[in-house]
Amino acid sequence: MEIIKVKDQQSGSQKAFELIAQGLQNNAHVLGLATGSTPIKLYQEMVKSDLDFSQITSINLDEYIGLDADNPQSYHYFMNQNLFQFKKFKNSYVPNGGTSDIDAEIKNYDQIIADNPIDIQILGIGQNGHIGFNEPKTPFDCTTHRVQLTQSTIEANARFFTDKNDVPKEAISMGIASIMKSKHIILMAWGANKAEAIYQTVKGPISEDCPASILQNHPHATIIVDEAAASKLD
């Protein structure tokens, strides 16, 4: 596990972009992508770059259940607004949270991941150590699955909704086992509210209490943290 400490989110996002660019030069063809506030500046770097993604496949980590792709709060919509409308990808996959058959969608998404092994996986991290929507106590061996979101995650996501009662309570998430198959994992964290989760990820026991701690077992995991998020590592 490589730890890269940076001054702030902007410099950290630039570093993550450089790692992606290097990966593409080394023949990476599949990117695993995340949503939320953490990767926004990374996507801005990707958008303003001259990198060609037209032969690159992207696979997103998760999507809310009950939101169609055109819902402004969906992760489909987020990806279109922040990246896909500006950069053309060969294929872009996001779970279909609006489907009436969640079990079939889960099976389909597992097949997509199997058919497109992820070269570089981008991750954020929740205050409770979740990666994707893999909440604490999620089995490390799980693949794509239906998630009941914890109250802390619902509250953290409420800032994106006009009414907190509108925050979905369930999601489809790529599983931890699927994430761990990625050749290179880049986890980014910004701010003091992520410091404890980063400490547990890097120095705590490998435990389902902190899902991200499994990254200690990954052969090529890079953790990019700003000064505040790294404050408990010293």
Catalytic residue among 45, 60, 63, 130: 130
For residue 118, give the nearest of 187, 209, 29 by alpha carbon. 29
Catalytic residue among 128, 145, 184, 218: 128
Q: Taking the CB of residue 113, how many other CB atoms lie within 10 A of it?
A: 21
For the question of residue 163 being annotated catalytic, the response is no
For the question of residue 130 being annotated catalytic, the response is yes
d(CA 25, CA 32): 17
**Using an 8 Å Cβ cutoff, are 175 and 142 in contact?**
yes
The DSSP element (H or E) to which 79 belongs, if any, is helix 75-79
d(CA 146, CA 181): 19
For the question of residue 62 being annotated catalytic, the response is yes
**Using an 8 Å Cβ cutoff, are 61 and 33 in contact?**
yes
* List of residues 6+ apart from 163 with CB closer than 8 A: none
For the question of residue 128 being annotated catalytic, the response is yes
Q: Taking the CB of residue 159, how many other CB atoms lie within 10 A of it?
A: 9
Catalytic residue among 63, 105, 119, 135: 135
State the amino acid at position 44 in one-letter form.
Q
For the annotated catalytic residues, the residue numbers are: 62, 128, 130, 135
